Amino acid sequence: MRTLALVSTLFLAAACAPSAAPTATGQQPSNPTTALAATPTAVRAAASPTTAAGQPAADVRYVIAPGSSEARFRVTEQLAGRNLPNDAVGVTKEVSGTVVLRGTQVVAEQSRITVDLRTLRTDQTQRDNFIQRNTLETGRFPTATFALKEIRGLSTPLPTSGEHTFQLVGDLTIHGVTVPATWETTATFTPQEVRGQAKSAWKFGDFGMTPPRAPIVLSVEDNVRLEIDFVATRSGT
């Protein structure tokens, strides 16, 4: 009787014990504890993506080539003695700066373009002097700067050939005032450099300025169009 009772007890214990979950092939794992412990490690690995080579993307640096780039402003004005309005165009080649990209992500603290406004020239010296002294006040605010924060519409990896259209987004500072700005950009890429043109526009009041006024100037359109023709050499991979 004691033997029969012992067998019955063992049978009941086995029947009530929890079974391990079947594997994808329908077989029980040989060591359920080991299989369950391995699962969280696999999830953590999948949540940490890497590049195809298993390494972070290298930085790519574009440096404005000295003397090869040009910044311009265009403002439509109506001068006394002329039947039709014309564009006043101011030009300078004093453009400098660097853009650093990690993939297509901008390394903002290293990406800035600067234009020396003191060197802007139009076709009239009298206009130049007025703009320098009264509009831009270049004695106090000698430069314009664009701090790049984002590039929109450029593929990954960065192109090394062909013409591409994209946007440069960041903060533009002129006359001591900083405002958000977007530049519509078209550029041609090679493995060694990028050449292109970026365009933007603003109103005088955006930067705390008033349109120029002079006896010979009947009116000035409150729409300043900016253009930068740029050449930048590339380094990095």
pLDDT digits (tens, 9 = 90+) for 108-121: 999 999 999 999 99
**Residue in this structure with the two tokens 């526009």, named with its chain if needed:** 201
Task: Report CA 100 to chain centroid distance, whole Å.
Answer: 9
Please state, rounded to an integer, the average pLDDT across all residues of the chain. 80
**Residue range 138-147, pLDDT digits in tens:** 999 999 999 9
- What is the Cα 38 distance to its own chain's centre? 41
Q: For residue 106, what is the enclosing H or E element?
A: strand 105-106
Domain made up of 59-236: CATH architecture: Beta Barrel (2.40)
The answer to whether the CB of 134 falls within 8 A of the CB of 141 is: no
pLDDT computed for residue 52 by the predictor: 53
Tell me what the mean pLDDT of segment 169-179 comes to: 98
Once rounded to an integer, what is the mean pLDDT over residues 24-30?
A: 44
Question: Which residues, 6 or more positions from 35, have their beta carbon under 8 angstroms from its beta carbon?
Answer: 23, 29
What whole-number distance in Å separates Cα of residue 125 and Cα of residue 130?
Answer: 9
Q: Mean pLDDT lowest for which of 125-129, 144-148, 185-189?
A: 125-129
What is the pTM assigned to this prediction? 0.74
Distance separating alpha carbons of residues 147 and 226, to the nearest angstrom: 16
State how far the Cα of 146 lies from the Cα of 71, in Å rounded to an integer.
12
| Predicted pLDDT at 167 | 97
Residue boundaries of the structural domains of the chain: 59-236
Token pair of 151 as six digits: 């590039």
Out of 3-7, 104-108, 197-201, which region has the weakest mean confidence (pLDDT)?
3-7
Q: Which among 64, 63, 62 has a CA at the least distance from the CA of 229?
A: 64
Closest CA to 237 of 63, 98, 99, 101: 101
Look at the block and give the residue holding tokens 């373009």.
Answer: 113
pLDDT at 237: 63
Residue 218 has pLDDT above 90, yes or no: no
- Does residue 83 register a pLDDT over 60? yes
- Of residues 21 and 98, the one with the higher pLDDT is 98
User: The tokens 């012992």 sit on which residue?
Assistant: 6
pLDDT of residue 55: 61
Question: What is the longest distance spanned by two Cα atoms in the chain?
Answer: 129
